[in-house]
Amino acid sequence: MAAAYLKNCLENPVRIACGLRLALFLLLVAGPLAYANPGKFFQLTRLSENVFVALANEAGEETANCSFVVGSQWVCVYDSSQSAEAAEELVRLIRSVTPLPIRFLVNSQYRGHHTHGNQVFLTQESRIVSSRQARLDMINKDMPQLQRYQQVLPDSIERLKKDLRTTPAGPQAEELAKELARRERIQNQLNSLKLVLPEIAFESSITLYDGEQEILVASPGRGSTAGDAVLWLAGQKIMFAGDLVAQKTIPDLEDAFSREWIETLLVLEKMKPEVVVPTTGAIGDDSLLSETRQYLTELRKTVKQYLDKGESLDAVLQNCQLPAKYKNYRDTDFYPNNIEKVYRELQTEALTIGRPAPPAKQP
Ligand SMILES: [Zn+2]
């Protein structure tokens, strides 16, 4: 993790000052930086004496980073990953560190790669916590989506198998085989999935206390979804930011509120975290917050320039290229979708001028 992070810094000199700050933090506080235990889904990394991150393996499986804080009496976990199988591996990693009960599981938001491991934590008698909005989104968005997947996946898998049989060996057949494996994996996960809703939901924040350990779970405003929650360890200045930030990755704006996301990131930046754990990729510092904010700000500004000239969405999509500095980011194919999302948001904002959404709340 440290090697990847420092490589990142060396490739981008602007980050060196912050990078040194994080490296010093890790050297002074963290002790051993990583366990030599690459699993199928995660690699466990120790961030401080009692804070651990299960970094999601980047190849193959679709999950998010998960984290846990070991208190004096119990453990609090941040995100349960995308499947029971991955969550079982996460629990094994926790058990390799501590026998303490896993009292709380926090879901950072509603989407499946943060919540579909929840059922495993029932066996640990954990209490699941999320923002009220994330819980609502699990009911109103994730459940119907799962039902749709269950209806369409079997047919789509059969169609892919048929296409694969008639496609000559080569790159196209390899792509089809990869997609087939992905859909079959999702179907297997769906067959064993039980969606478990949080039983504790909060409006804007909740604080969990374990002796002297204080854990703030806060949803300061809308962002990558309507109900993202960060986990904040003020004493150690460590922030788990979920999908609100991503390391060298173009974010997925499908469920996002770009204008409010920028406000939310500003609130989080004011908390001055020294370590920020993103949803995917390596651990970073507060520059992850500002980089994500900068991406969103630039995207909105670019699209607005076209919109102000009366350009159609098609024209914007044709003329608007991904800025060169993001060319090496992952998930660059999200960029056209991001343009479309922001274009529609700006159109709506133009119609509702004078009635802006409420500003982000201070956690
Ligand atoms: Zn996510």
pLDDT the model gives residue 50: 95
| pLDDT for the residue numbered 32 | 39
Q: Looking at residues 239-250, what average pLDDT do you find?
A: 93
Tell me yes or no: is domain 2-135+195-296 CATH 3.60.15.10.
yes
Task: Lowest mean pLDDT of 58-67, 114-123, 221-230, 333-342, name the range.
Answer: 58-67
Ligand 1 centre distance from Cα of residue 106 (Å): 14
- Specify the pLDDT at position 10: 28
Domains of the chain by residue range: 2-135+195-296, 140-192
How much distance in Å is there from the Cα of 62 to the middle of ligand 1? 10
Percent of the chain with pLDDT over 70: 85
Average confidence (pLDDT) over 66-92: 95
**pLDDT per position as a tens digit, 289-299:** 999 999 999 99
* Ligand 1 centroid distance, CA of 257 (Å): 15
pLDDT at 246: 82
What confidence score (pLDDT) does residue 353 get? 60
Smallest CA-to-CA distance from 109 within 264, 294, 322, 298 is with 264
CB atoms within 10 A of CB 299: 22
pLDDT in tens, 271-317: 999 999 999 889 999 999 999 999 999 999 999 999 999 999 999 99
Ligand 1: distance of its center to the CA of 118 in Å? 15
Task: State the distance from the centre of ligand 1 to the C-alpha of 1, rounded, in angstroms.
Answer: 20
**Average pLDDT for residues 193-206, to the nearest whole number?**
96
Query: Is 21 a residue whose pLDDT tops 90?
Result: no
Question: Band of the pLDDT at 13, cuts 50, 70, 90?
Answer: very low
Exposure b/e, 258-280, CB count within 10 A at least 16 = b = bbbbbbbbbbbeebebbbbbbbb
pLDDT at residue 186, as a whole number: 82
| Mean local confidence (pLDDT), 37-43 | 83
Task: Specify the DSSP element, H or E, that contains 263.
Answer: helix 258-270
pLDDT classification of 62: cutoffs 50, 70, 90: low
